[in-house]
Amino acid sequence: MERGIFASPVEPLFNHEHALETEILQDWLINLAEKNAKHIDQAHSKQGIFKQVNAVETIMYAAEKLKIAHEAKYLAIELFDRFLYHHLQDLRDHVLKLPRKRQLKEWVGLQEGVSNQVLLRIVSCCQIASKLTSHYKAFLFQVVSINRAKRFLCECGYRYASESLLQSELRVLKTLKFQVTEPSPIVYIETLLEILGCNNTKVEVKTYYYVAVKLLDLLYLKYHTFYKIIFEVTSSSKIQSLEQKRKFKKVKADQLLLAAAIIGGSVFMVQQDKADEMIEELGRITRISQNDIIDFTSVLIQLVEEE
């Protein structure tokens, strides 16, 4: 496996001789499951609304140019979605406090400002995510410094002073109340793959991981299409009632289910004859209904086939 000089590997070391003991791995999964349950409990109907294709593509492009790890890329997408939602809520609250005659003009001006600063905010999310995943010390992956961020923005036609980048990063952190350490889907995927490999040393964990990363990229790019189809499949309806929206927001927030489905899809693409067996094992590990995993996996494979 390739390594950087005096650095950790550029990819997860699954089932390495110095890997976590089974008990610690089990505790880690329990901890993730608790975080996932909290994430589901705190879900809101607008969650994921800013995971639009253009935004996701821009973040992925920035992640590539800034040379940040997969985990940082996915975390940046999650941070940007959460930030923009709360940022617009804050601006809306500000406008509503103004005299009614000023509200429309003020809101239009603020929206224009938000639009002009999208790339800056994306870079700030990448900076924060790169710091939170700085355990990736391989030569290819680095923490995004102010100078590197400035160079990237300059290449894109934007010139910002160092102070502006620092202020933007602080704005993102304050808007999110410094709650930026929630695990992204890739953390759930890596954990489940480690457990699968620990339970059965013949499982092709590394191959599944390579495919899973590609599937997760596709899912983010097709985020709204994916969950639209999921809703139609699970509810036999194309129109969401208020009650259905309330319930479905919890489905969209379930990172553990999503991770299990992506692994299921990876196995299906690599070894189709092993998919049912692996989904059954994932259901046992996560205590998630196999039917739910199959529903998600089927839609994911459908999106792959349409590409």
**CA-CA distance, 183 to 259, in Å (whole number)?**
12
Nearest alpha carbon to residue 191 among 3, 10, 12: 12
> Is the Cβ–Cβ distance between 268 and 187 less than 8 Å?
no
Residues forming beta bridges with residue 9, ordered by sequence position: 3
- First-to-final CA distance of the chain: 31
Nearest alpha carbon to residue 114 among 96, 87, 133, 95: 87
Q: What is the pLDDT of residue 18?
A: 47
In the three-class reduction of DSSP (H, G, I as helix; E, B as strand; rest coil), residue 281 is classed as helix
**CA-CA distance, 292 to 297, in Å (whole number)?**
9
CA–CA distances in Å: residue 263 to residues 20, 198, 278, 294, 306: 21, 15, 9, 11, 19
Residue that wins the pLDDT comparison between 212 and 237 = 212
Topology, domain 49-175: Cyclin A; domain 1 (1.10.472)
Q: What is the pLDDT of residue 20?
A: 54
Q: Is the pLDDT of residue 56 over 70?
A: yes
Domain with CATH 1.10.472 in the chain: 49-175
- What are the tens digits of pLDDT across the range 127-137? 999 999 876 44
**CA-CA distance, 179 to 79, in Å (whole number)?**
10
**CA-CA distance, 189 to 216, in Å (whole number)?**
10
Instruction: Calculate mean pLDDT across residues 234-260.
Output: 86
What's the DSSP call for residue 19?
Answer: P
* Stretch (H or E) spanning 17: none
pLDDT-based confidence at residue 4 (cuts at 50, 70, 90): very low
pTM over 0.85: yes
pLDDT-based confidence at residue 5 (cuts at 50, 70, 90): very low
Instruction: Calculate mean pLDDT across residues 85-101.
Output: 95
Q: Which of 4-13, 64-73, 113-122 has the lowest mean pLDDT?
A: 4-13
CA–CA distances in Å: residue 183 to residues 22, 110, 129: 21, 31, 11
Q: Which of 22-31, 133-142, 149-158 has the lowest mean pLDDT?
A: 133-142
